[in-house]
Amino acid sequence: MPRIIYCIFFLFVYFGYTQENLQKYREDQIYFSVYYNSLGNNLDNFKENKFSSSFNFGFIRDIPLSKSGKFAIGVGLGVGINAFNNNMKLSNSNSYILLNNRDIPKKNVFNFSELQIPFEIRWRNSSVDNYKFWRIYTGLKYSRLFSSSYKFENEQESYKLNSIPINLDQLGITLNIGFNTWNIGLYKSVNSLFNKKIQSFPKELEQFKLGLVFYIL
């Protein structure tokens, strides 16, 4: 994963130097997104419940690749807060059980916060004077978790775990399409949610997110 960070940093510096003769207007440098979170259904008897959400905020440096500014790359830095509700109950950081429909607790949620480094290839039909335009942005987002927890609560017991076996390094493919203010955002991870070194946890669960992305100059 550190190699990805080095590559993104190199591209940021390289294109920063090569854009001296390009038109100087830039677009969409602050982002805010709200997603519905899912972990798929590739694990037998695994079920999601309630609403799982993701809130993200950050800054992206827009680097034009053409004089018109319609083609660009974006490299940024942001933070994300995530919650996943499902029927996977942790008793400790090394074991789990899948609850049945009759045992759905009051609270059974995985939470984690992450530092994000998005890299986007950008197309839009904008101009210096046109602030309402179509956009298609696609790329990769690398995330590094800096905190995580698990909370469980039912009528018999209530507890919290602060050390859970989530993979600290997450990488996913992003696609954002929209017009003006409203943009649909997709995120599909390319690695497992849980740490592969812990053999007792399933490797089938991967993040998928669908939601809205808002950009500000």
Query: What pLDDT, in 10s, does the model give residues 38-96?
Result: 997 678 889 898 899 999 999 999 988 887 878 999 999 999 999 999 999 998 878 89
Higher pLDDT, 29 or 53: 53
Domain definitions of the chain by residue range: 2-18+31-122+129-146+165-216
Higher pLDDT, 47 or 9: 47
Coil, helix or strand at residue 130: strand
Bridge partners (DSSP) listed for residue 111:
83, 149
Average pLDDT, the chain: 86
Percent pLDDT > 70 in the chain is: 88
Distance CA(139)–CA(161), nearest Å, equals 34
Helix ranges (H only) for the chain are: 2-18
